[in-house]
C-alpha cells in the first residue's frame, strides 16, 4: 500500500503558491534590470513553452507515476500515442535523475509539456478498489502541484496580455 508523503498531506495552499511563485521566478537568463511588460510577457511565454516546473516526490511515488503512465494509461489515436510516447521519455529521464536509494522527498524538474500531457491522461484513468484509489491519490497530489504552477503562469500571461491590450 502506498503511503502519502507527510509533506504532501500538510502543505497549505499558501505554501503551494509560494513554491509555484519560486518556480516561476527561476526562469533562466533573467537579466538584472527591470523588465518591461512586453519583455516579461515574452519571457513567460517562452518559459511556458520550453520550461520546466519542479515537482517534489519520493523516488517510489515518482516511480509509481512513471509506471502508471507506462502500463495503465488508455490512449486513442495517433496524437495521443505520440503524446504518451514523448511523455514516457520525459518521465524516464526525470526518474533517472533521482536517488533511487533515498526514501526522502526529492525535487525534480519536469518539462511543462510533460505536465500538460499527464493532465490530459489523468482524466481517462479509472480504478477498481480503494487500494487503487489510494495509490492514485498520491500520484494526483504530486501532479496537481505541477498543474497548479502552470495555471499560475497562464494567469500571469493573461494578466499581462490584458494590461498590454488595454494600454494600446
What pTM was estimated for this model as a whole? 0.71
- Every domain of the chain and the residues it spans: 55-168
Per-residue model confidence (pLDDT) at position 41: 94
DSSP E strand stretches across the chain: 52-57, 106-111
User: Alpha-carbon torsion 65, 56, 28, 43, what sign?
Assistant: positive
Q: From CA 162, how far away is CA 160, in angstroms rounded?
A: 5
Mean confidence (pLDDT) of the chain: 82
Per-10-residue mean pLDDT, the chain, length 168: 38 46 51 84 94 93 92 91 93 93 93 91 84 83 92 95 88
Amino acid at each position: 500500500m502506498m503511503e502519502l508523503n507527510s509533506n504532501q498531506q500538510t502543505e497549505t495552499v499558501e505554501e503551494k503558491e509560494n513554491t509555484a511563485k519560486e518556480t516561476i521566478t527561476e526562469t533562466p537568463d533573467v537579466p538584472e534590470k527591470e523588465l518591461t511588460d512586453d519583455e516579461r510577457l515574452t519571457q513567460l511565454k517562452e518559459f511556458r513553452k520550453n520550461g520546466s516546473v519542479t515537482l517534489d516526490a519520493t523516488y517510489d511515488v515518482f516511480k509509481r507515476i512513471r509506471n502508471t503512465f507506462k502500463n495503465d494509461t488508455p490512449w486513442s489515436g495517433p496524437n495521443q500515442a505520440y503524446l504518451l510516447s514523448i511523455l514516457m521519455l520525459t518521465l524516464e529521464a526525470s526518474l533517472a535523475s533521482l536517488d533511487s536509494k533515498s526514501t526522502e522527498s526529492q525535487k525534480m524538474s519536469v518539462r511543462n509539456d510533460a505536465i500538460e500531457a499527464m493532465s490530459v491522461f489523468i482524466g481517462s484513468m479509472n480504478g477498481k478498489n480503494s487500494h487503487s484509489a489510494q495509490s492514485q491519490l498520491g500520484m494526483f497530489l504530486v501532479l496537481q502541484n505541477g498543474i497548479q504552477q502552470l495555471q499560475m503562469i497562464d494567469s500571469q500571461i493573461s494578466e499581462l496580455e490584458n494590461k498590454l491590450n488595454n494600454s494600446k
